[in-house]
């Protein structure tokens, strides 16, 4: 259902901090032209934590409108309150959204049973396919493969975005969940190795600024041309790492602005613009990756 290079799309903001919908339309066209396999709208990279509910819904619906059926759109619907995640999932029912991506609840640190009940409740409240998202570095909770396996038995829970960087989990999850359960990396630095180990693709931050390279790399990898894919990945590796020199999406929005992909690198508080001390490192990574001349 989902494979290849999928972008965790940034949400462009104007100088006043309002959503720049013209800029969003341009980003959608950029990814379609580059061969990106799917767009995740208003995931955590899309600043879901600081958009209002109305903005969140409108950005997803506008992304669908701009895509016009040419590329699948996955809606970010995660929340640390189960009722809120259910509300988002229901709001996108019947809109054309291909799936929902739901991050593990953050801050409140549920148990493994709490995680199971959280996702089970969401899945039972909607017919939309659900993709789990495990990113313990940001949420302070790690959803274990055994919990994923319990959830995989629910019909519309179809896959997981795993940002642990633990490649051993790919085989473990496949053994527990079966080959049809979709495994997507959420860690660009290990994304190619994730696919080489049996994963299906990546939901990528790097793809925001190197969309064509990422699309080509994962097409090669999924067709068995791992060596050719590794050549691209080695060139992109400084970018994979440097885009996290400060909290995501601070560096990638600054980089996208430098490349002219968005009109402003604006973020909403408590996130602030990339520090002057970090800017040379991001510029160097863009040049090393041959993204910036």
161, 172, 241, 253: which one is catalytic?
Answer: 161
Q: From CA 206, how far away is CA 218, in angstroms rounded?
A: 13
Angle between helices 211-222 and 21-34 (to 10 degrees): 40
Q: Does 107 participate in catalysis according to the annotation? A: no
50 among the known binding-site residues?
no
Q: Does 161 participate in catalysis according to the annotation? A: yes
8 Å CB contact between 263 and 14: yes
30, 106, 116, 133: which one is catalytic?
Answer: 133
Angle at 234 between CA 262 and CA 202, to 5 degrees: 60
Q: From CA 204, how far away is CA 226, in angstroms rounded?
A: 18
203 among the known binding-site residues?
yes
Helix H or strand E encompassing 41:
strand 38-41
Q: From CA 186, how far away is CA 135, in angstroms rounded?
A: 8
User: Which residues make up each annotated binding site for pyruvate?
Assistant: 45, 203
Task: Mark the binding-site residues, compressed into ranges.
Answer: 45, 203
Residues forming the active site? 133, 161
């Amino acid at each position: 259902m989902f494979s290849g290079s999928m972008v965790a799309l940034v949400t462009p903001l104007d100088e006043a901090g309002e959503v720049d919908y013209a800029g969003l339309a341009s980003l959608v066209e950029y990814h379609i032209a580059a061969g990106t396999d799917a767009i995740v709208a208003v995931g955590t990279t899309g600043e879901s934590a600081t958009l209002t509910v109305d903005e969140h819904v409108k950005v997803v619906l506008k992304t669908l409108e701009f895509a016009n059926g040419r590329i699948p759109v996955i809606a970010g619907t995660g929340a640390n309150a189960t009722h809120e995640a259910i509300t988002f999932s229901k709001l996108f029912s019947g809109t054309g959204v291909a799936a929902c991506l739901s991050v593990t609840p953050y801050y409140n640190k549920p148990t493994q049973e709490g995680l199971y009940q959280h996702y089970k409740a969401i899945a039972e409240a909607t017919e939309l396919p659900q993709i789990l998202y495990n990113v313990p570095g940001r949420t302070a909770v790690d959803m274990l493969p055994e919990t994923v396996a319990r959830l995989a038995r629910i019909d519309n829970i179809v896959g997981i975005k795993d940002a642990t960087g633990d490649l051993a989990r790919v085989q473990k999850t496949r053994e527990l969940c079966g080959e049809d359960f979709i495994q997507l990396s959420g860690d660009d630095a290990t994304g190619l190795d994730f696919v080489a180990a049996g994963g299906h693709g990546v939901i990528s931050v790097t793809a925001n600024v190197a969309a064509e390279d990422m699309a080509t790399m994962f097409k090669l990898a999924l067709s068995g041309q791992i060596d050719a894919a590794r050549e691209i990945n080695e060139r992109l590796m400084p970018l994979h790492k440097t885009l996290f020199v400060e909290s995501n999406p601070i560096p990638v929005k600054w980089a996208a602005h430098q490349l002219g992909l968005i009109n402003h690198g604006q973020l909403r508080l408590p996130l602030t613009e990339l520090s002057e001390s970090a800017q040379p490192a991001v510029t160097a990574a863009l040049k090393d990756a041959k993204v910036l001349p």
